[in-house]
């Protein structure tokens, strides 16, 4: 088991990967630097290998797929995950690693948004999107994560081996954040500097398509992790729509004439009310299932902790 593993997912980062590897080797000389090449065509792998990294490959395109393979293959007491585009400074890695190794944090978030991100990042919609996602996540899950979509994080062994990677693309950061919050893991924030990509280096993020994917992931994880809240909101919306149609079209004419003039509207409103009730009770059932799953998750963590103790003894 490595003491510290630096994980760098890469796709066509030949311009910056060499510097990133050398910077992290300088700051964390005891760490093993892993570069996972994701179908690059610009010799990123060769440059990383020459800089001193261990190079491995993931043939399925997408950052989520790369992280899935990383987490499965590598065992370490502390994991540092960072992008290969040289936008995150290696100098913060020691502080982040110490929080995992000495303070037993499960996830340390490299917080760009509290420092230079909004002045360095020239992509206007990325700034708006980061603010919006941070606000939604913290409101929905009652937490204070300062940077939900940062690519610079540190993890404990327990987090990495208990995290089910479901996303395939850039929405993986959102999934990590919600998983840590929902499972009551110990999370910390470290304010980091941020610098925009050097000239000639291009982002792999598509503002529109990847932004939509992130929003879809938030809604999906809201439903999966907090079903009672999600389906209660859905039930209330259905009831409000039902009332807005039923009262003026059916109820008011009925009190005025004693007759129901619009039976089709009455029937539709009846079905809508049934849908609202079904949504509410579905939320109750799923909420109980989630509680059972959380208890099972705690047992799995105990098994992982026992495995760590046995590995350290050996």
- Is the pLDDT at 70 greater than 70? The verdict is yes
Q: 304 versus 172: which is more confidently predicted?
A: 172
DSSP codes joined into one string, 272-297: HHHHHHHHHHHHHHHHHHHHHHHHHH
Question: pLDDT band at 198, cuts 50/70/90?
Answer: low
What is the residue extent of each domain of the chain? 2-225, 227-313
Mean pLDDT of the 148-176 span: 86
Per-residue pLDDT at 116: 62
Q: Confidence band (pLDDT; 50, 70, 90) for 207?
A: low
State yes or no: pLDDT of 74 exceeds 80: yes
* Higher per-residue confidence, 23 vs 217: 23
CATH topology assigned to domain 2-225: Spore Coat Polysaccharide Biosynthesis Protein SpsA; Chain A (3.90.550)
- Report which of 107, 229, 101, 226 is spatially closest to residue 176, judged by C-alpha positions: 107
CA 79 to chain centre: 16
CA atoms within 13 A on the CB side of 99: 19
What's the pTM?
0.77
Q: What is the pLDDT of residues 236-250, one digit of tens each?
A: 999 999 999 999 988
**Whole-number Å distance between alpha carbons of 266 and 284:** 27
pLDDT band at 136 (very low <50, low <70, confident <90, very high): confident
């Amino acid at each position: 088991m490595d003491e510290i593993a630096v994980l760098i997912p890469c796709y066509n980062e030949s311009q910056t990967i060499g510097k990133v590897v050398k910077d992290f080797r300088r700051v964390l000389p005891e760490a093993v630097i892993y570069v996972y090449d994701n179908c690059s065509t610009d010799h990123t792998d060769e440059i990383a290998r020459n800089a001193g990294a261990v190079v491995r490959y993931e043939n399925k395109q997408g950052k989520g797929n790369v992280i899935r393979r990383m987490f499965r293959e590598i065992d370490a007491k502390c994991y540092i995950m960072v992008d290969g585009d040289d936008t995150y400074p290696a100098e913060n890695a020691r502080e982040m690693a110490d929080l995992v190794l000495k303070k037993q944090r499960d996830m340390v978030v490299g917080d760009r948004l509290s420092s230079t991100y909004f002045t360095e990042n020239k992509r206007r919609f990325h700034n708006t999107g980061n603010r919006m996602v941070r606000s939604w996540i913290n409101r929905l899950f009652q937490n204070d994560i300062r940077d939900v979509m940062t690519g610079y994080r540190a993890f404990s062994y327990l987090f990495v081996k208990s995290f089910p990677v479901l996303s395939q693309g850039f929405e993986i950061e959102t999934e990590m954040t919600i998983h840590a919050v929902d499972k009551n893991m110990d999370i910390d924030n470290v304010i980091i500097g941020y610098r925009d990509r050097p000239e000639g280096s291009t982002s792999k993020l598509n503002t529109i398509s990847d932004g939509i994917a992130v929003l879809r992931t938030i809604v999906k994880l809201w439903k999966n992790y907090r079903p009672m809240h999600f389906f209660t909101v859905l039930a209330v919306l259905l009831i409000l729509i039902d009332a807005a149609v039923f009262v003026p079209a059916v109820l008011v004419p009925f009190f005025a004439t004693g007759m129901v003039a619009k039976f089709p509207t009455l029937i539709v409103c009846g079905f809508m009310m049934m849908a609202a009730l079904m949504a509410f009770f579905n939320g109750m059932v799923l909420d109980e299932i989630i509680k059972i799953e959380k208890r099972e998750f705690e047992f799995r963590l105990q098994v992982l902790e026992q495995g760590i103790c046995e590995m350290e003894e050996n």
